[in-house]
Structure formats: structure tokens, C-alpha cells
Amino acid sequence: MNNFNFSVPQTKIGGKSDVFLLEDPKDRKRYFSYKAGQEIEKIREFLRHGSFMAFLLGPKNSGKGTYSKLFAEAVGSERIRHISVGDIVRGVHMSMDSESGKNKLFSFLEANYRGPLSISDAVDSLLGRNASALLPTEFILALLKKEIKEAEGKAIFVDGFPRNLDQISYSLYFRTLMGYEDNPDFFVFIDVPENIIIERIKNRVVCPKCHVPRSLRLLKTKEVVYDAEEKKFYLICDNPVCGGPRMVEKEGDSLGIEVIRDRVEMDKKVIETLINMHGIPKIYLRNSVPVSFAKESVDDYEITPAYSYEFDTKNNRVAVSTSPWVINDDEGVPSYSLLPAPIVVSLIRQVVSVLNL
């Protein structure tokens, strides 16, 4: 994808800069204000009276959920909604656990779903109870419509749609289908070297409440604890709403990228097709910076470090050390991966541009 407009991010500001601890929510707030304060105010002003619909398009584990949630953190979560098709599927599972939830879901689908399968058959397909029935895109659209309706006019980041080539035509007319004819829409393409995705999968942990992903090795939270009984280190979610739960591994992540190889290849085909489409604004986010360009493009604290931990028994605390993490990008160029915050700065700036603010 580097043949397109995935230029090296330019987040460095001339002159002496403060050093921000990007794993700390308070420091991130200061960082976003410093790096993109004017752009953030423009977006906030726009969202007082308008909204937008953005499609997040990148390989699995490319950071789509993290970027949209940090965008909301920077701009204001009361006007932003991240809608993940994966979360919608999990929501259907939860709805089926109670009679009232099931009745509410079926009532909405009866009023909004039109497709080749009955509602019962489509739900069975979604839940994996009927492997022979192919889940129709119309059913996913109905579920997305439900989530959008509940968003009550917020700006929306759609994560996980389109997921295959057959859904591309739907995505091009998605705004009209969902009744958002007057609100701008745009694509957000995310370019991440496969080596980064591999490491993210192998080391990923998520909050059991807000589902925000982090990495014990590459993207820690502010607080790290050591469980002496299990002899393991854990990250503590730093979202104040969650109350500080331990972050946990996702089932299957230890097996790496090959488990999802077919999905990764399909993601690439969808992105390559959509990136050539005309008539819709596009945003390009690049996660890697060649080592030779890093000094002039980004600040050192924006580069992803590799973390290691030791438990200091004398002081009863976790000691954290870091070292530069260098990976080869998909062209074999030694590169740094960026932390999510500078990618979000690039996203904020480009949103201002595509909205003509």
C-alpha cells in the first residue's frame, strides 16, 4: 500500500518540546493539545451542529479500535461513537441470553431487516448454530442501523465493514442506506507492516470491561502489577470508567497471525479495491517510520519502545526498562513503529482537511 499516499507522518514541531508520557491519559491530553490543539477545537465546533461517518479500513489488529477511541479521548467522547462489527456480533450473543433482550432484538429486525434468510436463520448463522447458511450483508446492515440509531446523531467510526469484496458496493452507498444523506463520509486507510501486526497479536491484552487493547511488550498502561503467585506481570486498565481491572489475553492470540491469514489477505484485497475508488475523501494513516527519517519527522517519545519488567522486591514495585524497537517494514526497510497517539494526531489533522474546516 505504500505506493499510495501513506507518507511518513510529520508530527514533530520545531523548537524545544516537552516530553509527554503517552501511556498516561493526563499527559496524552496535554500532548494532543500541544500537537493538534487548533484542529481539535475546529472539530469540536463542527460536532456541535454536525456529524460524520468514517470507515476504518486496515488489516486485523492494525489499531482501528485504538485510534478511534483515542480520537474520541482527544476531541470529546460525548460526540463520537465507535461501532465495531465484531462488538455487534458479541452484542447479539448477549441479547440472546435473556428473553427481553431477544424480544427487543427480534422486534427491531422485523421492522428493519430485508434479506434472503429469515431472521431466525440469520441469527442462527451469526451465532454459529447454522454453518450451512451464509450470513447476508443485509443482516449486518440492519444490525449496524440499530447501533447508528442508538448513537443519536454522534459522529461515527465504523470498524469492520466492508469486510469482503461483496460488501464494497454497500459501503459506497452506506451513508444513504443509513439515512445520513447530508453528513459527510470518508475512508480511513491504515498501513501497518505485517511484522508489527504479528507482535501485536502475540502480546495483546484487552480490558474485560471497555475492551481497549494494549500490549505488555509494546503498549503498556500507566500501571503494571506483579502477581507473585502466578509469577506474571499484568497491565491495569487506565480508563477511569472501568475501575482498574487487570487486562487479559485474548483467546487464540498466542497462535499468531497464521490463524487469521485468510482474513488478512481479504483485508488487503478490500483495501486495494477501495483505495482506487473515486468520489469519497480518503485519509491515510501510516504506522511505520523508516529509521533514517525518524529524527526529522517525529519526537523520540512518539516511537514505540519495547518494554521489559522486573519485580523490585526491596521496594515492592515493578521496575520497567525500555529499548528501541526496530522492525523491517513490508519492503524490508528498518523502521520504527509509532505509538497510537501520534497516529491519532495525523488522523485529527486529516479529518480537519477532509471536512474543510
Q: Per-domain residue ranges for the chain? A: 25-354
Q: Per-residue confidence at 282, pLDDT binned at 50, 70, 90?
A: very high
Q: What is the pLDDT of residues 238-267, one digit of tens each?
A: 888 899 999 998 766 666 666 667 777 888
pLDDT tens digits along 181-232: 678 889 999 998 888 888 878 788 889 888 888 888 888 888 999 998 898 9
203 phi and psi angles, rounded to 5 deg: -115, 10
Burial tier of 338 (Cβ tally within 10 Å: 0-12, 13-18, 19+): buried
Cell numbers that stand for 139 in this block: 443482516
Cα–Cα dist 5/282, whole Å: 10
Average pLDDT over residues 130-155: 77
Question: Taking CA 251 as the corner, what is the angle to CA 91 and CA 257, rounded to the nearest 5 degrees?
Answer: 110
C-alpha cell at 182: 447530508
CA-wise closest residue to 347 among 123, 64, 133, 114: 64
pLDDT value of position 298: 92
pTM score, two decimals?
0.81
**Residue 35: is its pLDDT beyond 80?**
yes
Residue 3 confidence (pLDDT): 46
> What CATH superfamily classification does 25-354 receive?
P-loop containing nucleotide triphosphate hydrolases (3.40.50.300)
The neighbour count for residue 81, using CB atoms within 10 Å, is 20
